[in-house]
Structure 1
Amino acid sequence: MKPQLVYTRTAHTRRTPLPHSFRYRGYSWLVDLDELPRLPRWLAPLARFEPADHLGDRRASLRDNIDSYLAEHGIDLRGGRILMFANARVLGWAFDPLSVFWCRDDSGRLVCVVAEVHNTYGERYRYLLRPDASGRAEVAKRFYVSPFNEVAGRYRIRVPEPGDRLFVSVVLDADGPRFAATVTGRCRPADTRSVLRAALTVPIAPLRVSALIRWQGIRLWAGGLAVVPRPPSQETDR
């Protein structure tokens, strides 16, 4: 599959104990890990995909790291396609709250989905999902993300494999729905003009997303929401 840009709308809604919501627009990438974008040298700083920005061996490729992770769970795609939805590194900046990997085997069957979550403390965690035909899956929360939520409850996740459009949703259930996030977007072929236009429309997108999340956290803290202490580092690909 040719690399694509996804022009996204992201919505966050906190339902309890302090209702709060915000939305923002941005862009991400949808790429085949065997066919990563090859941009002109002058444009390359606007979209780089580095193994160091994800879990795994920094000396290995993104593809090899996902294959190694799946092998630890007894999964062999036998060279099948891995489709990644993620932010790229832009002008040296990298931050990606959620990367999603749709993993198909050599027969074209969707075997699983890997959701890699990044928090603003530089930690990362992977969830192995086995979605149903509609892309729905559930998994226990095991990673500290928001400073206002305990590491408890379950995620209800929807990750249908994208076509012309992308839809991802995450709902945290802990004695009832507490938090929900959705990402929707249009998928369009990535060429020189579209990459440049996206970078100019949302300059240094990873830095903007990181700053926005921190600003919303400050607003919640100022509104009186209690901070949950962060446990020891949980960075792992288990």
Structure 2
Amino acid sequence: MFLAFRHLFRRVATASSDVDAGNSIFLYQGTVWHERRRPVHHSFRYNVRYALIDLDRTRSHVPPEHLSGDEARFAAETNGPVFLLTIPPSVGYEQNPLSVYYCYDVEGSTRTLKKCIAEVTNTPWGERVSFLFNPTSDLVAKPLHVSPFMDMLGNWRMQTNEPGDNLRVVISVQHPELGNYFTASLTAKRITSSTVEDHAQFFWLMPHKVALWIYWHALKLWWKNVSFIQHPRYQTPMYREEAFLRDKNIRCCRSFGGDELNNPHVEGVKSDPVAETTDDHHFKWRDAKWPWC
């Protein structure tokens, strides 16, 4: 077991070094923060490390089970570079509740971030959904059961900035009964690659730590008597189709001047109908291979 472990570690380290040699991977270090405000208050934060990978310059090192640059461009209908924000595998394991593809359009010498693709994986069910969203601001019907303490009725408001020295991704959940009751964010700063001698060591056991935090705080919510909700496939096998129809209804309401929840915006959350409008989020569901990489 020790020899197999050491061999796997060397493979990851070698691949990471090859990527870094082409200056096509950027390292970020920051904090993930979660806050639930109803029905009970619960919040936590933990340190995290991410890689932003230029998929066009790392064709032979695209993380397994993720989109290639060409596949992301086709989905986003863009013509420029594509960068993937993700936590690379460590010791053969990957844990990415959310990966983001940043898809650019190029016109002359101008490069513009046009669309993003969110890739959401739920633990421990091993399902994955990908969809387009407008990085400036977008509202998406919740398409996946990501927590046994949340139902499927919420909508996700998503926003991210263009990756640079600083990176920020924010997702808030807007619910027809609970309002704007949950927020998750990633705030990170770019780390100079020259200060990191070994990328494998930089991400050492990072996926395992993320998984530990997920399960530990799920246990805390259970201890606080938050209602446990089974996966909708046991009660509503057509839950994916229902999510698609809810998303279509959101876009339809915005097109006719209505709001997302058929009532006033909750807790002062402002929206930009022009920025939010996305013709189709192009949901795509599939199973994520064990160990969810």
TM-score bin (small chain):
0.7 to 0.9
Question: Amino acid of the residue matched to residue 133 of structure 2?
Answer: L
Q: Does 1:98 align with 2:98?
A: yes
Question: Residue in 2 aligned with 1:237?
Answer: 284
Contact 1:69 1:237 (8 Å CA) reproduced: no
Question: Residue in 2 aligned with 1:180?
Answer: 183
Question: Residue in 1 aligned with 2:88?
Answer: 88
Question: Residue in 2 aligned with 1:117?
Answer: 120
Q: Deviations over 1:54-106 (max 9, x none)?
A: 3x6xxxxx223323434xxxx2x23x111111110111011101111111123
Contact 2:72 2:103 (8 Å CA) reproduced: no
RMSD (CA atoms): 2.3
Question: Residue in 2 aligned with 1:69?
Answer: 75
Question: Residue in 1 aligned with 2:64?
Answer: 51
**Unpaired segments of 5 or more residues in structure 1?**
39-47, 57-61
CA distance in 1, matches of 2:63, 2:164: 25
Structure with more of its chain in helix, by fraction? 2
Question: Amino acid of the residue matched to residue 159 of structure 1?
Answer: T
Q: Deviations over 1:99-152 (max 9, x none)?
A: 111111232232211111111021111121123xxx222212121111111111
Question: Amino acid of the residue matched to residue 127 of structure 1?
Answer: F
Identical counterparts, % of pairs: 30
Please give the TM-score of this superposition, normalised by the length of structure 2: 0.65
Contact 2:37 2:181 (8 Å CA) reproduced: yes
Aligned-partner SS, 2:39: coil
Question: Residue in 2 aligned with 1:44?
Answer: none
Q: In the superposition, relative to structure 1, how do residues 26 and 37 fare at CA in structure 2: closer, same or farther (>3 Å)?
A: farther
CA distance in 2, matches of 1:127, 1:147: 22
Report how far residue 154 of structure 1 moved: 1.5
Question: Residue in 2 aligned with 1:43?
Answer: none
Report how far residue 219 of structure 1 moved: 1.1
Report how far residue 228 of structure 1 moved: 1.2
CA distance in 2, matches of 1:160, 1:138: 16
Question: Amino acid of the residue matched to residue 222 of structure 1?
Answer: W
Where in structure 2 are the equivalents of 1:76-225 lying within 5 Å?
Answer: 77-78=78-79, 80-107=80-107, 108-120=111-123, 121-131=125-135, 135-175=136-176, 176-191=179-194, 192-193=196-197, 195=199, 198-199=202-203, 203-225=204-226
Give the number of aligned pairs. 209
Contact 1:2 1:31 (8 Å CA) reproduced: yes
CA distance in 2, matches of 1:158, 1:193: 32
Question: Residue in 1 aligned with 2:47?
Answer: 25
Q: In the superposition, relative to structure 1, how do residues 219 and 37 fare at CA in structure 2: closer, same or farther (>3 Å)?
A: farther
